[in-house]
Structure 1
Amino acid sequence: MKDALRMEAHLFLLCLRYLTRVPMARDLATSDDLRVRATKYQPLVGALVGAVGAAVLGLAGMVWSWPVAVLLSLGATLLVTGAFHEQGFARSAEALAIGRDRMSVLRGLQTSSYGRVGTLTLGLALALKLALLMELPPGLAAVGLIAAHGIGRMAAVHVTATTHYAREEGIRALVPGVTPDGYRAALATSGLLLAGLVAVTSLAAGLCAFLGAVALGQVWRMRAVAKMGGYTRDCLGGVEQLAELGVLLGLTVWV
């Protein structure tokens, strides 16, 4: 039992290291198999990132105005993650918009930078996220942050489990897959987050948040599949970011 718990803690730390910039022990053992098994914790790590944002939101709201608190909250989540998904969103937006065929899109995704399309797309997404959070009352905004970050990571896990990887060579190891049991565990975590959201809002609000996440995440997945026949790591950033926005958009419908 102790060995099993120790292994689960190890997998969680691996996932935390993959998705955030939280300092980890340098000797944390890893392998392709362990990374795949750790994928199930992505929604939980996302919820923790959201919880950091929620904590900053609450503390900052005691000192500054609501817009300032929301901005500081967003900054805290970007600091914790190193803008991991935001960078992928911007890079994939640029490549999908500029690339005319599969190979040109993949070449665009290989660059370490992005141009005006990626910058504007990310800027608009962040501005929309800020505007949506400002429309929510403080308590609901905090809960929404936790749910949005967790469900957003679940959207990326779902694409990993159900969609073809676009590259036939190269950096596939940088995008860990997920086992059937791992997918079910991630789905259960997301279900708990959604249930918590329903508990503090309503069934209708929770349903709108869920449908918003599914709809926007699938838009990005379908665009990637149409352009290059599958997804890449950067495309997962777009799926995650849009799923986050979908949750917040669904919530604001019922404010």
Structure 2
Amino acid sequence: MNDVRVELTLAIGFLTRLRLPPVEYSDAAMARAIRWYPLVGVAIGAALAFLFSGLNVFLPQAVAALLTIAAGVLLTGALHEDGLADLADGLGGSPDKDRALEIMRDSRIGTYGVLALIVTLAIKTTTLAILPTTTAMVALVAGHSLGRLTMLRLMDSLPYARSTGAAGFMSDATRSDRRIPLLSLAAVIILIAMTTSILTAIVTALAVTGLGALLINRLKARIQGYTGDALGACEQLTETLIPLVFLACL
């Protein structure tokens, strides 16, 4: 039980800016903690869904959507948005692996990164503003959970692309317990089927699987592995894709 508490604390502390009681850190514990990422994603998505529902009572839905997306950025410290921007700059800035990785380490943001953030934030805000309230709430839960589940898929499928780095500990976890992530996946797909339609659940599963395969293929070709930035970009692209799928299935 103590190991579970440590792992959950590390997972929540890594994925959010919430202040939690300190626990002893180790790369091994952090590696095991990734199995809780999809469940933490469910909690993040649920919190934002309830916020969206509350804001929607007093404000136009478009404003509620924008404020909810902003709250998500604050809650996570823009962790994944930063990864998306860095990956876009790296892959867009050079076809050479070493140069691309160097660009991704640069704290400055470039044109590709700015455009990636503008497009994804615009899509997420617009789709939440258009979708029926309940469907938008489910999209938030599904996006945050499946986005982090897709991160695990990248780690299972690719080696770490750098010799050292902030996400290097994750290379030790590529074959760790996946029962909890799979249970999270099943719960989210069932939630989608029950609140929207079975078709939407099937299309969502296929779309997320296809996006994961595409990202794995491109990262393998360009940088021969994954980085922390790639994981963040993966989460953001999945989170952006899901409300689009929901909208297409209405």
Classify the TM-score, shorter chain. over 0.9
Identity %: 30
* Cα 1:217–1:242 shift into 2, 3 Å: farther
- Counterpart residue number, 1:108: 103
Among 117, 123, 138, the residue aligned to 1:122:
117
Rounded to whole Å, the distance in 2 between the matches of 1:91 and 1:212 is 24
Moved more, 9-18 or 243-252: 243-252
Moved more, 141-150 or 209-218: 209-218
Gaps of 5+ in 1: none
Moved more, 219-228 or 164-173: 164-173
Among 155, 161, 166, the residue aligned to 1:160:
155
In the TM superposition, 1:19-168 aligns within 5 A as 19-25=15-21, 27-168=22-163
Gaps of 5+ in 2: none
Q: TM-score, normalised on structure 2?
A: 0.94
Rounded to whole Å, the distance in 2 between the matches of 1:171 and 1:68 is 35
Note if contact 1:35-1:176 (Cα within 8 Å) is conserved in structure 2. Answer: no
Among 222, 225, 229, the residue aligned to 1:230:
225
CA RMSD of aligned residues (A): 1.6
Moved more, 241-250 or 177-186: 177-186
Rounded to whole Å, the distance in 2 between the matches of 1:179 and 1:228 is 18
- Counterpart residue number, 1:8: 4
Shift of 1:67: 0.4
Rounded to whole Å, the distance in 2 between the matches of 1:102 and 1:15 is 30
Rounded to whole Å, the distance in 1 between the matches of 2:209 and 2:91 is 20
Shift of 1:180: 3.7
Aligned residues: 250
* Cα 1:75–1:54 shift into 2, 3 Å: same
Shift of 1:218: 3.0
Note if contact 1:211-1:250 (Cα within 8 Å) is conserved in structure 2. Answer: no
Note if contact 2:159-2:171 (Cα within 8 Å) is conserved in structure 1. Answer: no
Note if contact 2:12-2:40 (Cα within 8 Å) is conserved in structure 1. Answer: yes
* Cα 1:123–1:31 shift into 2, 3 Å: same
* Cα 1:160–1:87 shift into 2, 3 Å: same
Shift of 1:211: 1.8
Rounded to whole Å, the distance in 1 between the matches of 2:228 and 2:197 is 34
Note if contact 2:13-2:19 (Cα within 8 Å) is conserved in structure 1. Answer: yes
